[in-house]
Amino acid sequence: MKKSSILIGFGLLLLTTVFIVVGGKVAEQDKSIRSDQLEINSDLQFANEEDLEARKQFIRAQNLDKALIENPDAILIDVRTPAELDESGYIEGMIHIPLQSMEAAEMEQYKSGIQKNDKIYIYCRSGVRSEKAMEKLLEAGYTDVTSVDGGYAAYSQYRK
């Protein structure tokens, strides 16, 4: 009886060891697959970010009027809040699309008048939000989007 208990115990110990070794190798192999996938995904994201950076365009505020005259069909988008428009004014002829409304579902209401290949100039108060908006539009497939450096603050200073 004692011998059979020892053999059973030894057999269970051996089986447990085999499961641990084999299971560990499978888990290790699974981790390496996931690690490879992460490297591939991060490489793709890095390539997409490089592409996005390469497609970004900027214009100095003092050159905006000339650019709008040279491109009469260009679309001018102001991404500031309604309160900012009321407080400091806006550029005549702009379309108001607040940055927080530039999510894909909310952009649907504006798409009817804006084509993916239209020339688009975009501005905010200082240029930070317009760059974010430009990125969103480029990611959504718009091809010719330009952010106004310095935003409305620089533009209104230039116009004085």
Q: Are 31 and 51 part of one and the same domain?
A: yes
Q: Rounded distance, CA 131 to CA 147, Å?
A: 6
The residue among 94 and 53 whose pLDDT is bigger is 94
Q: Distance of CA 104 to CAs 19, 100, 139, Å?
A: 49, 11, 10
* pLDDT score of 1: 52
* pLDDT score of 71: 96
* pLDDT score of 154: 96
- What confidence tens digit (pLDDT) does each residue in 9-48 have? 545 444 444 445 445 444 444 444 444 444 444 444 445 6
Q: Are 70 and 131 part of one and the same domain?
A: yes
| Band of pLDDT at residue 2, cut at 50, 70 and 90 | low
pTM: 0.67
Q: Are 109 and 71 part of one and the same domain?
A: yes
Phi/psi region, residue 127 (left: phi>0; alpha: psi -120 to 50; beta: rest), is left
Q: Rounded distance, CA 82 to CA 28, Å?
A: 55
Arithmetic mean of pLDDT, 64-71: 96
* 118, 73 contact by CB (below 8 A): yes
CATH of the domain at 74: 3.40.250.10
* pLDDT score of 160: 74
User: Considering its fold, how many domains does the chain have in total?
Assistant: 2
Q: Are 63 and 139 part of one and the same domain?
A: yes
The residue among 131 and 6 whose pLDDT is bigger is 131
Q: Are 31 and 101 part of one and the same domain?
A: no
Provide the domain limits for residue 140.
57-159
Q: Are 154 and 101 part of one and the same domain?
A: yes
Q: Are 7 and 72 part of one and the same domain?
A: no
Q: Are 25 and 71 part of one and the same domain?
A: no
* pLDDT score of 10: 46
For CA atoms 98, 101, 104, 106, the dihedral sign is negative
| Band of pLDDT at residue 109, cut at 50, 70 and 90 | low
Q: Rounded distance, CA 7 to CA 60, Å?
A: 84
Q: Rounded distance, CA 115 to CA 119, Å?
A: 9
Q: Are 41 and 96 part of one and the same domain?
A: no
